Amino acid sequence: FSSRTLWRFGFCARLLKTNHFRTAASNTSSPAVRMLLAQYPGRIPDSFVKVQRSSFFKMPETIEDKTDLELYSPPPRVRGMTQLDREAFKRTIVVPVLKVKKEIIGSLLKSLKHTLLQRPGLKRVIEDPDDENGRLVMLDPHKIPTFSLGGSEQEVLKQFDIPPVVCKHDLELTYDSFKLEEILRAVLPEGQEVTSGFSRVGHIAHLNLRDHQLPYRYLIGQVIIDKNPGVTCVVNKTSIIDSTYRNFEMEVLAGESNLVTKVKENNTTYELDFSKVYWNPRLSTEHGRIVELLKPGDVLFDVFAGIGPFAIPAAKKKCRVFANDLNPESYAWLLHNCKLNKVCDKIKAFNMDGRDFLLGPVREELSKGLLLQTEEQKTSSHIVMNLPALALEFLDALRHVVAGAARSAAALPTVHCYAFSKHHDPAEDVRQRAEASLGASLRGRCSVHPVRNVAPNKEMMCISFQIPADVLDGRPCPGEEKPACKRQRTSKDFSEETLPS
């Protein structure tokens, strides 16, 4: 038996293992392995096969998948269903039960809690049809696979003077008895990826379904509502995020069509129309991280503010905030949330292009602030640029934000700029791209913080640095020769009648 053959079998086995854990539905068959076994019948050593098989099934998630498929799967007839039929999910399984007197149920359940049946929508104790004073305690068939108790369980029963006899009981499972992933795994084509995760935005569940899941999207939406209390609307993104206004088209899959919702993040409440503005609950930690860096009295310039997840907590921390967003809807909801959180006097809001905001209000305020800065005044300023698809392209404008003003290194603002990267070294990639836009080296003068994994091989990063003094002088300001743009709209111009209700 050649070493090359052993290597080929090992490769196929590894391929099998990789594919097995990659798919949501367990699939322990592999054409590559079957072909190899057929090619070398009787020549694979038994000990080698046993070692490989052991490596597959010692993983806890593999065991759970296998037993779920055997016992807790909906009936095969639901495969391919596109319109939800809850009645079709009924099936009967056999589970082990103990016959006990109702007087001792409470104490017995505490002692057997690790052995009891635990399934959504199922009672662990039911009446005994043969004894009005008795009860049937249902046990987990995975823990009692041979319908015989182990030593520890027998000891417990002995303490309660209960005969260690396990009976069989026909248990009807219904739609309510199955978990979300179990239902979707049974309905979607076998072997295809099952996505049961979603983003929760108030009462809205937001999905990003793949092409093979689209024929089942209305069923998926309804199951998510059924299995998640508080979710009353499910939407699926139907286009990529618009890089200008940071919103996207979506389809309501199930539930009500009300997309105006309320969310709470880091002890701050926001209201928004999810169909018209950008909101990502996965950025909660990052919002909190940046706000934690601020001190009362600091100044925050939020270039792409959205509805205010940086700006409003900073204002609540008694910072002076200048917040801007180009999207008129985001601007409207920013003002609405300022009023909701009672920070209108701390935030000056703008509805203009990010570059115009930097070269206009930010430049003006920073110049005034740096001229007035004294040694005793220890406040600092921060510029947040959370538009990861484009923000790096705006860094060149920072060369001119304090043009002509007296300044010290201590007074220069700190920038927190977000970017996506598909590079194998995303931190180095973001730093180099920031340097190219800024026109100065940031090596040793910046930090790059990983924010989240957006997709396979795509990371969201935040690069933070203090604007280097050497880039602020002697550069022509882009757009200075252009005709003046339309007057920017500020919060003072925004009438109460245009606020969302």
Q: Are 342 and 447 members of one domain? A: yes
Q: Please report, for the domain that includes residue 221, its CATH number.
A: 3.30.300.110
User: Does 229 lie in the same domain as 288?
Assistant: no
Q: Read off the pLDDT band of 44 (50, 70, 90).
A: very low
- Confidence check: pLDDT of 312 > 90: yes
Kindly state whether residues 248 and 114 are assigned to the same domain.
no
Q: Is there a single domain that holds both residue 246 and residue 206?
A: yes
Domain containing residue 316: CATH number: 3.40.50.150
Among 114-123, 196-205, 328-337, top mean pLDDT goes to 328-337
Neighbours of 322 (CB within 10 A): 24
Of 223, 258, 293, the domain-final residue: 258
Residue 233 and residue 122 share a domain? no
CATH (domain of 170)? 3.30.70
With respect to residue 299, please indicate whether it lies within any of the assigned structural domains.
yes
The pLDDT of residue 388 is above 90: yes
Q: Which is more confident, 43 or 397?
A: 397
The model's pLDDT over 110-159, given as tens digits with 9 standing for 90+, comes to 888 889 998 888 889 999 998 888 999 999 988 888 888 888 888 888 88
pLDDT above 70 covers a percentage of the chain that reads 74
Is 20's pLDDT higher than 50? no
Please give the tally of structural domains in the chain.
Answer: 3
Cα 394 to Cα 12: distance, rounded to the nearest angstrom: 50
Band of residue 11 on the pLDDT scale cut at 50, 70, 90: very low
Q: Who has greater pLDDT, 406 or 240?
A: 240
Q: Is residue 298 part of a domain?
A: yes
Q: Is 432 exposed, middle or buried (0-12, 13-18, 19+ CB in 10 A)?
A: middle
Q: Are residues 211 and 340 in the same domain?
A: no
Show which of 128, 150, 177 is a domain's final residue: 177
The residue among 403 and 65 whose pLDDT is bigger is 403
The mean pLDDT of the chain is 80
Structure tokens at 495: 């009438």
Closest CA to 95 of 152, 18, 173: 173
Residue 180 pLDDT > 90 = yes
200/157 same-domain check: no
Predicted local distance difference test score (pLDDT) of residue 152: 85
pLDDT at 383 over 90: yes
Cβ neighbours, 10 Å, residue 7: 10
Cα–Cα distance list, 101 to 21, 97, 130, 387 (Å): 45, 13, 12, 65
pTM of the complete model = 0.73
Of 226, 258, 290, which residue is a domain's last?
258
| One domain, residues 307 and 433 | yes
Between helix 217-227 and helix 180-187 the angle, nearest 10°, is 160
Classify the phi-psi angles of 216: left when phi > 0, otherwise alpha if psi is within -120 to 50, otherwise beta: alpha
3-state secondary structure of 415: strand
Same domain, 304 and 397: yes
Question: Does 32 reside within a domain?
Answer: no
At 453-489, the pLDDT tens digits run 998 899 999 999 999 877 765 444 444 444 444 445 5
Number of Cβ atoms within 10 Å of the Cβ of 168: 11
Classify residue 81: in a domain, yes or no: no
Residue 360 covered by a domain: yes
Whether residue 211 is found in the same domain as residue 287? no
Residues spanned by the domain of 158? 91-177
- Tell me the Ramachandran region of residue 292: left when phi exceeds 0, alpha when psi lies from -120 to 50, beta otherwise: alpha
More confidently predicted of 148 and 92: 92
- Whether residue 343 is found in the same domain as residue 305: yes
Q: Are residues 216 and 342 in the same domain?
A: no
> Is the Cβ–Cβ distance between 396 and 439 less than 8 Å?
yes
Q: Is the residue at 75 inside a domain?
A: no
Is 420 a domain residue?
A: yes
Classify residue 1: in a domain, yes or no: no
Q: Beta-strand (E) ranges in 325-445?
A: 347-351, 381-385, 414-421
